[in-house]
Amino acid sequence: MSEIWQNDIWALSAMLASSETTAQDLLTQYRSRINDLNGAVNAVVYLNPQALDEAKESDLRRAQGRALGPLDGIPMLIKDNLNATGMPTTWGSPLFADYIPESDEIPIERLRQAGVVFMGKTNVPEFTVEGVTENPIFGVTRNPWDTTKIPGGSSGGSVAAVALGLSPCSVGTDGGGSVRRPASYTNLVGMKTSIGRVPRGNGLPQLLLDMETVGPITRSVRDQAMLLDALSGPDRRDHRSMRFGAPSFCATLDEAPKNLRILAVEIIDNAPVDPEITRSFRAMTDTLASLGHDVSFGPLPVDVRPLYERWTTIADIGLALLLQRNPDMAKTASPKYVDWAHKSYHAPHLLEIIEIIDTLRNQAAMAFDSVDIIMTPSSAAMPWSTEMPFPTHINGGPSGPRGSAVFSGWVNAIGHPAISIPGQHGVSGMPIGVQFTSDFGQDAMLLSLAQQIEQSTPWQTNWPSLAHKENLV
């Protein structure tokens, strides 16, 4: 019989509804695990002193028949770049070390309205613009599957916490793969929804134009659906969200798709890919074929080179705006980011980037006329040493700072939904993820496909040995 921390939030919700457990009991158990295990990975950087009161209020609502829904009483950790009332949002930078927001960002507001108990915050890289999770305030976060390796970034603290059973779920942000790649390194499910599906507002500045979305980090696909039911839907404070209704992803989750046209792209522009990842990717194509889908291999039908040649410029421009609004950044932030912020670009350069993104979106719209899904690896590299900012070589070939992210950033640019789910593990036992991207607005179909795959090849029972307290050295 599994221990309570090994359950997904769907199962925990059922246990709360049947009075098999309480919100206070859940909070106590997860706090105990944080106390015992967090030191090994440094995932959790702040504990919410109001969490027990939130759990008590949830239990009282249930006792009075006033539960707010299936998430009422579910404990959760949130990424430390999302504003939550009364909890520090440091963004991993000394610039924001003392910042305590007085109100929730829209996604956090919605989760609070659903009765979620916020346990605390998870670690991020400074300004969430790196693929590793380390900052000058809290230090480095490690991968529970191998603590000498990175868990990815920028949602590294969130995935490390969920993978280790310190929280049943988390919510993060994805501006270039920051939910999907870390999920792939830790045997989790991470989703980037269509731009506007989850409204944004009342939060930190978005440094990557409109490409950053808020998305859940979970152990199961059904948990993604449950959280997105609470997070999604129009809000007048974010005009991009007004194009969407508020469908129930849970209601359609088990409608298994049939005969999908799936384009398998295992390499982009001859960029190197770790052979273990390629093996896992091809095993997933076999699974899809066995489920009755039409899988064909081919090149990515959009030209990502102009985007990737200018990717760092996008972050530079975002940081420059941050510096303009916060002059103290020059004295308090890490010198590297101050240097990025001081770079000078002519106005036409920004307009060129916007034009490149617009062209990509047009190409993607045409591509999905002939395919339903584009599948790729979630990352080009296996998790690397925490001593390195990025892998300098992949499969024997040289690689730069974004080499591991070749499969993820283009999806943020086109604005389509994408999900990373666990695939076949590597020979070393490390997790490997596979990414699925669908047409704009087809988030529900993407979840149904992922659910179909999970039912065929379940992964929830795979835990890192560190998750069992008796293995803690």
Instruction: Count other Cβ atoms within 10 Å, centred on residue 472.
Output: 12
Q: What is the mean pLDDT of residues 381-390?
A: 98
Q: What is the mean pLDDT of residues 438-448?
A: 98
Confidence category of residue 469, pLDDT binned at 50, 70, 90: confident
> pLDDT tens digits for 218-265?
999 999 999 999 999 999 999 999 999 988 999 999 999 999 999 999
| Domain annotation for the chain: domains and CATH numbers | 12-461 (3.90.1300.10)
Percent of the chain with pLDDT over 70: 99
Residue 344: the pLDDT is 78
Residue 441 pLDDT greater than 90, yes or no: yes
Residue 455 pLDDT greater than 80, yes or no: yes
> pLDDT tens digits for 324-359?
999 999 999 999 999 999 997 888 888 999 999 999
Residue 473 pLDDT greater than 60, yes or no: no
Task: Record the pTM.
Answer: 0.98
> pLDDT tens digits for 285-321?
999 999 999 999 999 999 999 999 999 999 999 999 9
Q: What is the mean pLDDT of the chain?
A: 97
> pLDDT tens digits for 130-145?
999 999 999 999 999 9
Confidence category of residue 1, pLDDT binned at 50, 70, 90: low
Across 48-188, the runs of DSSP E, i.e. the strands, are 75-79, 117-122, 134-135, 139-140, 170-174
Query: Which residues are catalytically annotated?
Result: 79, 154, 178
Percent of the chain with pLDDT over 90: 97
